[in-house]
């Protein structure tokens, strides 16, 4: 039986379950659900890194622009794939299973390809500007992948989902989601401390106090 693109694979809540669905139905989840929102943001965020890295190493404006365009194309293509995969894992429970596996795996895989693209560009132009740019890009990849997962779990940056939220509304929500993302460790620690300080509900003394 064919699987609806809108339904796939939101019914899966485990790492193993989503992985098996992705392997079984790559067309539905990676091609049909190619995440153009993530593609746009990835290209906008990464391309300038390579432009400035090549420009600061005095390779010339034309070479810097070429490096920026090469990375923009690669990141637009692969950023959409990353986004579709992250979207597939957004309902995994517990959430930390996805946070500590998917972003790291995607970052490692994408930067192998990114290094290949940059090495080919350097070989063609006789330059050597990829080192620092890729180092910065690796850090951004891990943070942005975790942020994308965080945002998607809150209904933002999704494509072909049941809500059909337009991209402009996602962008309006970004400042608040970013603030929530930055403050999440502090809020999580505060809630954990608060829960530990509460008396055990099974303790008879706590029942008397209440």
Specify if 210 maps to a domain: no
pTM above 0.85, yes or no: no
Task: Report the C-alpha gap between 196 and 25 in whole angstroms.
Answer: 43
What residue has token string 């970004």? 174
Half-sphere exposure of residue 52: CA atoms within 13 angstroms, side-chain side:
9
Left (φ > 0), alpha (ψ -120 to 50) or beta: where does 60 sit? left
What's the pLDDT at 2? 45
Looking at the domain assignment, is residue 95 inside a domain?
A: yes
**Domains of the chain: total:** 1
Is residue 134, in this structure, part of any structural domain at all? Answer: yes
Tens digits of residue pLDDT in 121-166: 888 888 776 777 788 888 888 888 889 999 999 999 999 876 778 9
pLDDT digits (tens, 9 = 90+) for 43-74: 998 899 889 888 888 778 998 899 899 989 98
Q: Which residue segment(s) compose the domain that 169 sits in?
A: 15-187
């Amino acid at each position: 039986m064919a699987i609806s693109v809108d339904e796939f694979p939101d019914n899966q809540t485990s790492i193993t379950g989503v992985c098996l669905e992705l392997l079984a139905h790559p067309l539905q989840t990676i091609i049909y659900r190619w995440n153009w929102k993530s593609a746009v943001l990835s290209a906008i965020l990464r391309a300038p890194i390579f432009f400035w890295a090549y420009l600061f190493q005095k390779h010339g404006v034309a070479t810097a622009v070429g490096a920026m365009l090469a990375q923009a194309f690669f990141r637009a293509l692969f950023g959409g794939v990353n986004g579709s995969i992250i979207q597939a894992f957004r309902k995994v429970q517990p959430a930390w299973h996805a946070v500590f596996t998917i972003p790291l795996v995607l970052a490692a895989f994408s930067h192998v390809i990114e290094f290949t693209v940059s090495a080919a560009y350097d070989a063609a132009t006789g330059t050597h500007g990829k080192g620092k740019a890729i180092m910065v890009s690796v850090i951004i990849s891990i943070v942005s992948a975790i942020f994308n997962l965080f945002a998607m779990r809150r209904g933002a940056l999704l494509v072909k989902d049941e809500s059909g939220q337009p991209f402009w509304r996602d962008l309006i929500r970004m400042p608040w989601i970013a603030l929530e993302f930055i403050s999440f460790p502090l809020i999580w620690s505060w809630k954990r401390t608060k829960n530990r300080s509460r008396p055990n509900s099974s303790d008879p003394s706590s029942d008397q106090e209440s």
